[in-house]
Amino acid sequence: MEKPSASTWHYGVVARWWAEFNEGGEEIDYFRRYVEAGQPALDVACGTGRLLLPYLRAGLDVDGCDISEDMLALCREAAAREDLTPTLYAQAMHELDLPRRYRTIIVCGGLGLGSSREQDLEALRRLHEHLEPGGVLLLDNEVPYADAGLWKYWLKENRADLPRPRREPGERRSGKDGAEYELRSRVVEFDQGRGRADAGTRRLRPRPRSRPVQRRRAVRGRRLPRLHRAARPLR
C-alpha cells in the first residue's frame, strides 16, 4: 500500500502572502554563524528565501530546496531584483536527492510540516547523506502538543465541533504588489492516530485597493507532487 504523500498549503496566494510578509526574524542571525563557519550550505524548506536571501547578500555559498515550486519561483523573483542567482531545487525533504554535498544543512520551521513520522525519519536519513564528513545539521522542531488550544480534540465529544466555523474578517495588510491580504485559519479535523489537528484550510484574500474584491481562494492542505525525478536546479 502506498504511503500517504506529505501535504502543505504553501502554494498560490498563500505563497504570495509568505513572500510579502514573512521577513526577518531572529533565526536568520542564529543560523548565519553556522553557515559562515561551514560552507557550502543548504537551506532546506527555504520557502521564499527568508533566510536564504540574506545569506546570499552576504556572499555566502548557500543553495535552497523546497517542495513548493510556487515559493521557489517567488524566491527567484526576489533574488533577481537584487542580481542574485541562487541554485534552487524543488524536492520533498524525504525524497532529497541533490548532486552536491554540504558542510552545513539548516532546516528552519520545515521538519514535520505536513508529513508523517515515517517521512520525517526518511528525511533525517537523507539529510545526513547530504552532509560532508564532519558536517553539521541544524534544525528546529515544534513538538506535536505545542498548541494547548488543540488538546481538547483528543476527546471524542469535542471533535463533534469540527470543522470550526470560518472566522470573521480581520486585519488586512497591504502588499508591495498593491493588493491587500488577509490570512485566516481554522481547525477542520483531528487525526487521532497521528495525534495532530489539521488546520488545513487557510484563507487568504488579495484585495485591490481601488475596487471591491473580485477573487477568493481557499487553500486546503494540498497534496504535494511526488518528485521522483532527478534533482534539477531551477533558474
pLDDT in tens, 152-163: 888 888 888 888
Please tell me the predicted confidence (pLDDT) of residue 155.
87
Say how many Å lie between the first and final Cα of the chain, rounded: 36
pLDDT at 14: 87
d(CA 41, CA 10): 23
- Measure the CA–CA gap between 195 and 37, rounded to whole angstroms: 38
> What is the pLDDT, as a whole number, of residue 123?
96
pLDDT of residue 230: 34
**Positions of the chain with pLDDT lower than 50, given as ranges:** 1-4, 198-235
14-40 per-position pLDDT tens digit: 899 888 988 899 999 999 999 999 999
Q: Three cell numbers at 3?
A: 504511503
* 195: region left, alpha or beta (phi > 0 left; psi from -120 to 50 alpha): left
Distance CA 42, CA 108 (A): 11
pLDDT at 223: 32
**Fold designation for 7-143:** Rossmann fold (3.40.50)
Query: Residue 97 has what pLDDT?
Result: 98
The H-assigned helical ranges of 11-142 are 12-21, 27-37, 52-57, 69-81, 117-129
pLDDT of residue 215: 30
Are 94 and 110 contacting, i.e. CB atoms less than 8 angstroms apart?
A: no
Residue ranges of the chain assigned to CATH 3.40.50.150: 7-143
Distances (CA, A) of 210 to 169, 178, 203: 19, 9, 21
What's residue 216's pLDDT? 31
